[in-house]
């Protein structure tokens, strides 16, 4: 990815240039690259192009997992990606310029914008004690009960 932004050495040494500054500048350059495109697209087309992008970054499984939640197409060309935590949000922020550039080019629409929303994932129960784990495993594999009996295993202690 080419960029016309080159930070000065003086600014970098003075602490005026940060990773966020560089990423934001690259993002601005990448976002403006396809400013003339206005073709409409469907959620299915967007999902297909997102899957193509995921194939390109397959060496980054955490990011692939985060982006596997297909963004919701909201008003106009706005995409809303629901994520689980702030770590995922930071990962998306770092890859966002590259992702937006790809989607805008492939879908031929420069108005595409991506925002994230942290959604609290509700679950009934996450933690199980040893005895509960053993019960679940024995339900899945009844032969495990025989092993428990044979070796006199007790998880209540």
Tens of pLDDT, residues 4-31: 556 667 777 777 766 666 666 665 555 5
Q: To which H or E segment does residue 115 belong?
A: strand 113-118
Residue 84's Cβ-count burial label (10 Å; 0-12, 13-18, 19+) is middle
Other C-beta atoms closer than 10 Å to the C-beta of 3 total 13
What one-character DSSP code corresponds to residue 10? Answer: H
Dihedral over Cα of 117, 120, 121, 126: its sign? positive
* Most confident listed range (24-38, 110-124, 135-149): 135-149
- Tell me the pLDDT band of 92, cut-offs 50, 70 and 90: very high
Residue 14's Cβ-count burial label (10 Å; 0-12, 13-18, 19+) is exposed
**Per-residue pLDDT for 149 more than 60?**
yes
* Region of residue 3 (left: phi > 0; alpha: psi -120 to 50; beta: else): beta
User: Which pLDDT score is estimated for 17?
Assistant: 67
CA distances from 85 to 39, 44, 100, 118, 135 (A): 33, 26, 21, 6, 31
Task: Return the closest-CA partner of residue 47 out of 61, 30, 68.
Answer: 68
């Amino acid at each position: 990815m080419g960029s016309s932004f080159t930070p000065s050495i003086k600014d970098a040494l003075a602490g005026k240039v940060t990773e966020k500054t560089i990423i934001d500048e690259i993002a601005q350059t990448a976002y403006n690259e396809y400013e003339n495109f206005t073709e409409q697209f469907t959620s299915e087309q967007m999902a297909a192009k997102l899957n193509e992008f995921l194939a390109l970054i397959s060496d980054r499984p955490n990011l692939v997992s985060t982006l596997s939640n297909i963004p919701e197409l909201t008003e106009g060309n706005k995409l809303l990606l629901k994520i689980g935590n702030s770590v995922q949000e930071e990962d998306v922020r770092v890859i966002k310029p590259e992702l937006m550039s790809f989607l805008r080019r492939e879908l031929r629409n420069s108005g595409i914008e991506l925002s994230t929303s942290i959604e609290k994932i509700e679950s009934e129960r996450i933690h199980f004690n040893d005895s509960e784990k053993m019960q679940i495993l024995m339900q899945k594999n009844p032969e495990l009960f025989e092993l428990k009996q044979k070796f006199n295993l007790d998880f209540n202690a």
